[in-house]
Structure 1
Amino acid sequence: MRGKLLLLAGLYLVQGLPYGLQSGLLPILLRARGLSLTRVGLAKALYAPWLFKLAWAPLVDRRGSPRAWLALSTAALGLVCGLLAALPPAQDGQAAMPIPVAGLLLLLNLAAAVQDVALDTLAVQLLEPTELGPGNTVQVVAYKLGAALAGGGLLALLPTLSWPPLFLLLAATYWLAAALAWAAPAIRQRPPPPQLAEPHPLGKAPHLLQGLLAVPGTMWTAGFVSTYKLGEQGAGSLLPLLLLDRGASAPELGLWNGVGAVACSIAGSALAGALLARHWRPLPLLRSLLRLRLGGLACQTVLLFHLDSPDASVGPASVLRGAALLSLCLQHFLGGLVTTVTFTVMMRCSQRAPRALQATHYSLLATLELLGKLLLGALSGALADGLGLRLCFSLLLALSALPLLDLGLAPSTLA
């Protein structure tokens, strides 16, 4: 198991680099070169390939092997980074990101999304049922570390290394990872995928979806992963902005909501892996963690009611400041716990699918999980402006209670 986990750790760390690059490094670079906040925000549309993983997941299932797809997509990431090294993101005073750079970033996300499908498929096939807890801990922790390295780490190197050396460094990292994916013994020793003598019976889209939903536990898992992050994501998006409005400095928030949040989230994921390794059953563990998260969000909502008063301040010596930063870190810690156990349930469900459908099945669940996280993160600002902060946070708190009700309907096969 140790060899499998080390391999997955390296590959998932590399997989987190594009997200950190575009969520941490790129917005700062674009803003520093004079792009408007609106245009910097619109750059997130380049994430679009991640929402269409189901379009190519069947190819990973039915054409070639996950090993080949993983090696080729990782090498393609290196090629795109090599091309980006020759193109700056924007010249000083430029009104928009250059079209060639936007096109290459779109290709970067496409290759990263294909790599994600192939790597998740390998993890589903590589890990035994007793290894799912440690395996998913490695997945979540390594991905977050990769995102933190590409966002904060590369941003720290930027005064020393300019844009071209940074992307040449990323290209070399991806090509080394592609060689690892191709040559790793744990992957090469996997049995080849079953060869179908006839056309795949689920080849057409309606039949494919029907086959995916027929896997035991899929309907419940799909509903759960679509909703379990709604309240948490909305509150997590709004609280740092509220603290900024009440007097907290941007560098301090960057430290606490960036480095501190990642550290707490990783600690939560590691603890979840340890509990699962001690044979804690996922669903009872998830129920306890969701109750803790709901309690934390309730305390955060009470705190927000105090922050929403006209004379509230989070100055250097205020009690509210300490309570708010503690609440921020606690919620990321609990979020890491909940996410790791949820991913374990997702992978356990996908392992019940026929092997020829596992990549597509896990991609379906992962896409729904991503949509659930993006939905409230994107709409939370509009909800706060329309409903007011107090009513908005009360709604988010109510949404955080829904997953606990969903667990009462969970099939016993996923326990």
Structure 2
Amino acid sequence: MTAPASRLGFLLQQRLAVMLPLGFASGLPLALTAGTLQAWLTAEGVELKTIGLFTLVGLPYTLKFLWAPVIDRIVPPWLGRRRGWMVATQLCVAIALVLMAVTNPRLQPERLAALALLVAFLSASLDIVFDAYRTETLEPRERGLGAAIWVNGYRLALLVAGAGSFLLADWIGWSMTYLTMAAIMAAGLSAVIVSPEPTVTADPPRSLAEAVGAPLSEFFGRPQALAFLAVIVLYKLGDAFASSLQTAFLLGGMGFSATEVGSVKGMGIAATLLGALIGGLMMTKRPLVHSLLAFGVLQALSNLGFVLLALVGKSTVMLLAAVVIENLTGGMGTAAFVALVMSLCDPRYTATQFALLSSLEALGRVFAGRPSADLVEAVGWAQFFFWTFIIALPGLWVVWRLRARLPAAQGEALALHQTA
């Protein structure tokens, strides 16, 4: 192997290898400001109404597109436009976790809430720059696999910050647990330092006004931009409806115990990771649009497993099959969807466009709960899950209609940049 070819192979491996620790750093703060924080507050005897207010600290994750233009516009004086922001925000998350660790929840709940909100804001900012870095670093044929590796790192972090923190807190207490998580977050800076520079670079916006307005005008100036948005909103919509009341269905509708559901859900997480990895590997050998269609069909069909479960009745075997298949295909669909979002971003405005597009996809998960409950009351569980299959079909139809355009989406974005 020649020296250039050897270096190319190393860069390919390095680009993919860093996705795991970076995904881990992206996921670690989430549980520490959500379920794990609630457990700490409960253990300290904080009243339930106060704990309920703490759920609002997750708001920055849904509003991160508002300050994404700042991250596109400003270039730190160290390590470049993306890696510089990664170092700054990750270090600040670690420091804020230390401040949370030394705050007494009973005596200073307001201070702890403010610090938790700060961690969520910094973590959401870290997600913005991570998404931009991943998009600009991975080659198109690597994006599915890179997204899968990222998801695996993210899910692993959720386990460490969730179940891992619970076990650790019984041993060393909650304050020391949060200090430990801060140390892990700080140690993750080494992954940023060794991360390669993005392979696709572009000059940042010349002003904040350009950073805010240009990403929108650039995207909507593309042919069939509205159709691309339809794919973003609709592709995972059936999945969002099916998962919105899944736990209520299994516990209340089918009468499974919490232990049974919890055990199967654990297997479902493993199936999601496996599905993302399988999907990512398959995407290295096939075009993006083929993966979107194939995985989308499997994703939609998997919802019918819950129809069978509702018709068959309480069956542990059917429960396991339905949950595992749904999570396996969902992981494959997620790998394809993330690759799609990356392909639609212009290199000049990656942070802003990725944040906007991912926020649009999240609308389904946020607002599916109430319509799902109304539908269950109207038609029952079996027909509800059949309708989630129907709801998934428009997204597949739009992908099919755009099958000649989606593979060219990244090329169009690059071409527009080069001619701008």
1:406 is displaced (CA, Å) by: 1.8
- Shift of the 145–218 alpha-carbon distance from structure 1 to 2, 3 Å rule, reads farther
Could you say which residue in structure 2 is the equivalent of 1:412?
A: 404
Could you say which residue in structure 2 is the equivalent of 1:363?
A: 355
Amino acid at match of 2:196: A
Give yes or no for contact 1:62–1:356 (8 Å, CA) kept in 2. Answer: no
1:390 is displaced (CA, Å) by: 4.4
Amino acid at match of 1:404: L
Corresponding residue SS for 1:248: coil
Give yes or no for contact 2:72–2:349 (8 Å, CA) kept in 1. Answer: yes
Deviations 1:288-343 (A, max 9, x none): 22222222212312322454xxxxxx4xxxxx122022201210111000000111
Amino acid at match of 2:310: L
Aligned residue among 166, 170, 183 for 1:155: 166
Could you say which residue in structure 1 is the equivalent of 2:194?
A: 184
1:70 is displaced (CA, Å) by: 1.0
For the residues of structure 1 that align with 2:90 and 2:60, how far apart are their CA atoms?
A: 16
- Shift of the 147–219 alpha-carbon distance from structure 1 to 2, 3 Å rule, reads farther
Structure 2 regions of 5+ residues with no counterpart? 1-11, 76-80, 408-420
Corresponding residue SS for 2:401: coil
Please report the TM-score for the alignment, with normalisation by the length of structure 2: 0.83
Amino acid at match of 2:392: S
Could you say which residue in structure 2 is the equivalent of 1:345?
A: 340
Question: Quick check: 57-66 or 212-221, which moved more?
Answer: 212-221
* Aligned-CA RMSD value: 2.8
Alignment pair present for 1:392 and 2:402: no
Identity fraction in percent:
24
- Shift of the 409–27 alpha-carbon distance from structure 1 to 2, 3 Å rule, reads farther
For the residues of structure 2 that align with 1:13 and 1:90, how far apart are their CA atoms?
A: 30
Corresponding residue SS for 2:360: helix
1:382 is displaced (CA, Å) by: 5.4
For the residues of structure 2 that align with 1:389 and 1:240, how far apart are their CA atoms?
A: 12
Amino acid at match of 1:288: A
Alignment of 1:1-400 (within 5 A): 1-31=12-42, 43-64=54-75, 65-89=81-105, 98-181=109-192, 183-184=193-194, 186-187=196-197, 193-194=202-203, 199=207, 202-203=210-211, 205=213, 207-215=214-222, 218-245=225-252, 246-257=254-265, 259-277=266-284, 279-307=285-313, 314=314, 320-350=315-345, 353=346, 355-377=347-369, 380-381=372-373, 383-385=375-377, 388-400=380-392
1:412 is displaced (CA, Å) by: 2.1
For the residues of structure 1 that align with 2:222 and 2:209, how far apart are their CA atoms?
A: 15
1:200 is displaced (CA, Å) by: 6.9
1:41 is displaced (CA, Å) by: 5.7
1:399 is displaced (CA, Å) by: 1.1
Structure with greater contact order relative to length (CA < 8 Å, sep ≥ 6): 1
Could you say which residue in structure 2 is the equivalent of 1:311?
A: none
For the residues of structure 1 that align with 2:318 and 2:143, how far apart are their CA atoms?
A: 35
1:270 is displaced (CA, Å) by: 0.6
Give yes or no for contact 1:25–1:154 (8 Å, CA) kept in 2. Answer: yes
Question: Quick check: 366-375 or 113-122, which moved more?
Answer: 366-375
1:36 is displaced (CA, Å) by: 7.5
For the residues of structure 2 that align with 1:43 and 1:383, how far apart are their CA atoms?
A: 30
For the residues of structure 1 that align with 2:28 and 2:185, how far apart are their CA atoms?
A: 10
Deviations 1:85-117 (A, max 9, x none): 0124458xxxxx922222211111110111111
For the residues of structure 1 that align with 2:123 and 2:394, how far apart are their CA atoms?
A: 32
1:35 is displaced (CA, Å) by: 6.5
For the residues of structure 2 that align with 1:339 and 1:8, how far apart are their CA atoms?
A: 16
Deviations 1:51-70 (A, max 9, x none): 22222211111211111111
Please report the TM-score for the alignment, with normalisation by the length of structure 1: 0.84
Amino acid at match of 1:63: I
Give yes or no for contact 1:225–1:372 (8 Å, CA) kept in 2. Answer: no
Deviations 1:321-379 (A, max 9, x none): 220222012101110000001111111121xx2x3212211111111122222222565
Deviations 1:370-410 (A, max 9, x none): 22222225654455356643453343232122222221222
For the residues of structure 1 that align with 2:105 and 2:225, how far apart are their CA atoms?
A: 42
- Shift of the 199–152 alpha-carbon distance from structure 1 to 2, 3 Å rule, reads closer
For the residues of structure 1 that align with 2:27 and 2:268, how far apart are their CA atoms?
A: 16
Give yes or no for contact 1:67–1:122 (8 Å, CA) kept in 2. Answer: yes
Give yes or no for contact 2:232–2:360 (8 Å, CA) kept in 1. Answer: yes
Question: Quick check: 291-300 or 372-381, which moved more?
Answer: 372-381
Q: How many residues align?
A: 390
Structure 1 regions of 5+ residues with no counterpart? 92-96, 308-313, 315-319
- Shift of the 256–157 alpha-carbon distance from structure 1 to 2, 3 Å rule, reads farther
For the residues of structure 2 that align with 1:15 and 1:262, how far apart are their CA atoms?
A: 18
Corresponding residue SS for 1:412: coil
Question: Quick check: 157-166 or 25-34, which moved more?
Answer: 25-34
